């Protein structure tokens, strides 16, 4: 929420409330229509005997979940912390992501096994019905992208936007496959598409699993490490002699924390010390998006 511009006669709290309300409304619409079409694809996949449609529904589920994660992150941001949950419920997002990744592994395994079985023993697919359902899925993905497009300045919403963009590409492949089946009767394209989509789900699921585990183990944020922070501070602030006991971790998606000990080259007045610490915190926020920094002088 860093890049919200405060209008005249409007408090930043009101601005944040209005912003979150708008984003939640957009996400709820996207979740509703994505979930509905995902259900239609599952039912249609079984009725048309199309494993590719069922696989696409599984792929759509990954992005359906991404939308829910984005929505949940906004809700968690509005929950006040208390004396025994000082970070609120931000980690609920990470736990949900971990369980979702494990579920995706099971879905992927089933699709791969079924896909290989259908390559060995081909089954007829209702191409026309498959095409109609695939086109419906593509239209819904395009609508969802259109809804989220104006909100991609927010990292949380941007993540959901790119997930839906990936699902749209998958839907395009399903439509092309359905056209081929409808005009040629080449049913092998159905299990081949399903295996390709399963691989995409596996890649996304593994990324989700890895990132969730890293956050729960309080690893440094992706693309940042303690050496990077140390070097940036030593280069940017000549007053610093030494940085020790540096700890950098992720609380939840795009929320980073930092603690470290500083030793200055010379004695500073309390005012100079306070001013320098403020500048250091601003520097790590601007360069590394670390909003929560605790600095102790030794």
Between the alpha carbon of residue 31 and those of residues 35, 88, 207, the distances in Å are 6, 24, 22
Q: Tens digit of pLDDT per residue, the chain (298 long)?
A: 344 444 444 443 444 445 456 667 777 888 888 888 889 889 998 999 898 888 888 877 877 877 787 777 677 766 777 777 777 777 777 887 788 788 888 888 988 998 999 899 888 888 888 888 888 888 887 887 787 776 544 545 666 666 667 677 778 888 898 899 888 888 889 999 889 888 888 887 888 888 889 888 988 988 899 999 999 999 999 999 999 999 999 887 778 999 999 999 888 888 999 999 999 999 999 999 898 899 999 8
Give SS3 for 262: strand
Q: Are the CB atoms for 112 and 271 separated by under 8 Å?
A: no
CATH class of 226-297: alpha beta
Calculate Rg over the CA atoms of the chain: 24
Give SS3 for 243: strand
Which helix (H) or strand (E) segment holds residue 250: the answer is strand 240-252
Closest CA to 135 of 193, 175, 102: 175
Topology alike, domains 12-216 and 226-297? no
> Residue 12's Cα: distance from chain center in Å?
26
Q: What is the pLDDT of residues 131-175, one digit of tens each?
A: 888 888 888 878 877 877 765 445 456 666 666 676 777 788 888
Question: In DSSP terms, which residues pair with 263 in a beta bridge?
Answer: 242
Residues 6+ apart with CB under 8 A from 180: 186, 189
Kindly indicate whether the domain formed by 12-216 is annotated with CATH number 1.20.1510.
yes
Closest CA to 240 of 259, 260, 255: 260
Residue 159's pLDDT is: 60
> How far is 200 from 102, CA to CA, in rounded Å?
15
Q: Residue 82: which region, alpha, beta or left (left: phi > 0; alpha: psi -120 to 50)?
A: beta
User: In which order are the strands placed within the sheet that holds 255-264?
Assistant: 240-252, 255-264, 292-297
Q: Please report, for the chain, the start and end positions of each structural domain, with discontinuous segments joined by +.
A: 12-216, 226-297
The position carrying tokens 């699902």 is: 167
């Amino acid at each position: 929420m860093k890049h919200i511009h405060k209008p005249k006669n409007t408090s930043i709290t009101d601005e944040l409330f209005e912003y979150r309300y708008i984003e939640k409304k957009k996400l709820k619409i996207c979740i509703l229509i994505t979930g509905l079409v995902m259900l239609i694809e599952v039912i249609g996949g079984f009725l048309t005997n199309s494993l590719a449609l069922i696989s696409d529904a599984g792929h759509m589920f990954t992005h359906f979940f991404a939308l829910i994660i984005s929505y949940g992150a906004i809700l968690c941001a509005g929950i006040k912390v208390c004396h025994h949950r000082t970070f609120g419920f931000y980690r609920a997002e990470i736990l949900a992501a971990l369980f979702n990744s494990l579920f995706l592994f099971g879905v992927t395994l089933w699709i791969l096994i079924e896909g290989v079985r259908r390559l060995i023993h081909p089954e007829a697919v209702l191409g026309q019905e498959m095409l109609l359902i695939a086109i419906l899925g593509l239209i819904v993905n395009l609508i969802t992208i259109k809804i989220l497009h104006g909100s991609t300045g927010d990292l949380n919403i941007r993540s959901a936007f790119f997930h839906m963009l990936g699902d749209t590409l998958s839907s395009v492949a399903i439509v092309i496959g359905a056209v081929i089946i409808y005009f040629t009767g080449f049913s092998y394209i159905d299990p081949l598409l399903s295996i390709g989509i399963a691989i995409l789900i596996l890649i996304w699921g593994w990324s989700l699993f890895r990132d969730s585990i890293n956050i729960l183990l309080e690893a440094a944020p992706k693309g940042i490490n303690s050496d990077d922070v140390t070097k940036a501070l030593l280069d940017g602030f000549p007053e610093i002699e030494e940085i020790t006991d540096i700890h950098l971790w992720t609380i939840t998606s795009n929320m980073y924390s930092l603690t470290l000990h500083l030793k200055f080259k010379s004695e500073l007045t309390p005012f100079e010390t306070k001013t320098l610490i403020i500048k250091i915190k601003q520097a790590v926020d601007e360069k590394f998006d670390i909003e929560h920094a605790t600095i102790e002088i030794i």
